[in-house]
Amino acid sequence: MDVHQMDVDVDEVVVQQPVPRPDPWQTPIRMVSPPPRPASVPLIHPNTDLGFVYSAEMMSHNPRYTQNDHPEVPGRISSIWDELVRLRMTGKAKRIPIRPVVREEAVLVHSQDLWDKIEAFQLMDMQNYIDTAQYYEQLSLYICESTTRSARLSCGGVIEAALAVARGELKKSFAIVRPPGHHAEPEEHMGFCFFNNVAVAARVVQQKTPLKKILILDWDVHHGNGTQRAFNEDPSVLYISIHRYERGEFYPCGPFGALQSVGEGPGRGYSVNIPWPTGGMGDADYLHAFQKIVMPIAMEFAPDLVIISAGFDAARGDHLGECDVTPDGYAHMTYMLASLASGRLVVALEGGYNLQSITHSAVAVTKILLGESPPALKSMVASEAAAETVWLVAKEQSKYWKSVSPKSCEPQQEVASLSFSVPEILKLHRQYYLYTTHDMMQIPLVGKELEDRFSAQVMCTTNIFDKETMVFIMHEFGNLRAEMSSSLVCDVQIERSYLLDFSKDLIHWAQGEGYSVLDVNLFPKPVDQQLIAQRLRIPTDEYQQKLVTYLWDNYVQLCSAKNIILIGHGPACSQLIELINLRATSVMKCVKAVVQVIGYSTLRAPKNNHELREWFRKRSFVAIPATHPVWTPDPTKEMKKHGRLQRFDVAETGKLMLQSFPLAKDFVKQRMLATAEDDDDD
């Protein structure tokens, strides 16, 4: 029989007279009608792309024969519908007629035996319901005279919602149905669920429309074991579930919802489980999972249709889920999913047991379905547990999806506590070497900012306050990567050797000449990201300026040295020039020579002051590789600013330092012998 011949108008269906209810369940079912509508107002919004599925008849399934309070109550759907009516949202959408699922549709997912069992519920008498109540409670179910009808309507309603979108009649639909479905497995009903609504709907869409690739996103707090089981070996349906797992101890329990459960056979990789290890997960955690796992995989899969198994039991206030997702969080997840499949989106209600929580969450989702933008979110960071889970899922799913990058998901705090950067290791080694070999000591810094960024990076010889000549060296580690000959090569030995060799030669030369040494590494330590968020971020060069001027004012100016030799290396040369600008008077008084080994950094001169520039030109030695842009097209202008520009046919800054060092020493020697009269004659 053709499926369309089975469509019925729910209001005209003759329902079997129910057995009289026990006293506790005499509450009548409320039939909510929309507010009166003027004749001039159309029944359906002319530009609507949304359709609703709803019938109060599904409320007749209720726990009248159970002894305990049950969370899956009829009011779950009426509370949502009443609020949508109150907010006049139902008038902006089409009402999709509901119908019961037929056997030919149900058996696309379920066994004939399960169909027969559910059909038999309506034939039982009251004593049968009472006698079997304990058995069904073990399956987390309850049954009554109306269970069969309600379950069939719930499943058929989702089918009609999906077909309306798949056939192009609507862009989006929302099936407000119960009982839920995602726990129902092909052979068994369980967990408040009888038919697997979204699974059957997906199969019907594949059978009756050209849409074959379907994404089912399940954000119910429980793993949709039935949905995954239905498509576990099918690559045409991508199933993604974000759920509370707790090592398999949270319902439905067992390892099927673990991150390693990825499908079987041809369906391997088409089941994606994001299993939270604990309750309390909120917006930041879910959106982190969406950005790192859900959306990359979904976009790579490129579905023809998206179905959301929209359980709202992860919502704030739900006593079963005990999570913390807000209506705004659900709105943002819906908004992202609506960008897929040319906007074809079906939302099917699953769980959610706090009436206020599911109502507010459903309204937030409906606003997105009606075309509104999601509300702005405050700044948020995923929890450590969520970040760890997403990283582990990324490691597993990267085996099947090119768009998933475990490296981008790696928890930062975890890495920070276990690792050291190469520059930090080199700094510590260099500090130890200078202390043991040259008897150099660490200079303490005043102020938390300087201490946090540059502690253990300023060293001096013990005779710094006694010698008449001081060599003030400024350098960085941070330029090492940029100065490699190729981005494809990372030769740590080259990085390590040139800096240490230069330090040994320079300090050995300075001590041999009887000079004191002040050595500063201007490569700052990384700042904790939380500190950046708490205060205005200060540029790195401002910290470097503070450090260099602090050392000049508190050590260089207070020592006995009458002759200062400034030596800059790589990017640190910029701060050397800035020191000359900021302390021009005292610098011109005592600095005898300025040596810069520029590498490929920008060549700078002091500020536009004739006296300062003339002073600088006479005392400046600059070593530059032959391939530096300063040599093209004409270096004459720069040579007038910088005095002695020395060209070297080397590419690496380390080799440039080694080759230029003999000439730099000769230049310093000449400058030390020069008198004031010699400078005037130049």
DSSP category for residue 325: B
Of the candidates 619, 474, 657, 648, which has an alpha carbon nearest to the alpha carbon of residue 550? 474
**Residue 543 CB: number of other CB atoms within 10 A?**
18
DSSP category for residue 567: E
Q: How far is CA 588 from the centre of its chain?
A: 53
Q: Would you put residue 87 in left (φ > 0), alpha (ψ -120 to 50) or beta?
A: alpha
Catalytic residue among 61, 183, 189, 360: 183
DSSP category for residue 255: G
Structure tokens at 357: 């929580």
Q: Rounded to an integer, what distance in angstroms lies between the CA atom of residue 604 and that of residue 142?
A: 81
**Residue 231 CB: number of other CB atoms within 10 A?**
22
**Residue 301 CB: number of other CB atoms within 10 A?**
21
Structure tokens at 678: 């010699």
DSSP string, 426-491: HHHHHHHHHHHHH-EEEPP-SSHHHHHHHTT-EEEETTTTT-SEEEEEEE-STTTGGGSS-TT---
- β-pairing, 345-349 vs 305-310, is parallel
Q: Rounded to an integer, what distance in angstroms lies between the CA atom of residue 90 and that of residue 330?
A: 20
Of the candidates 161, 122, 169, 175, which has an alpha carbon nearest to the alpha carbon of residue 144? 122
3-state secondary structure 112-138: HHHHHHHHHHHHCCHHHHHHHHHHHHH
Catalytic residue status for 642 = no
Specify the residue for token string 């034939």: 123
Asked if 195 and 106 touch (Cβ cutoff 8 Å), the reply is yes
Would you please indicate which residues are annotated as catalytic (active-site) residues? 183
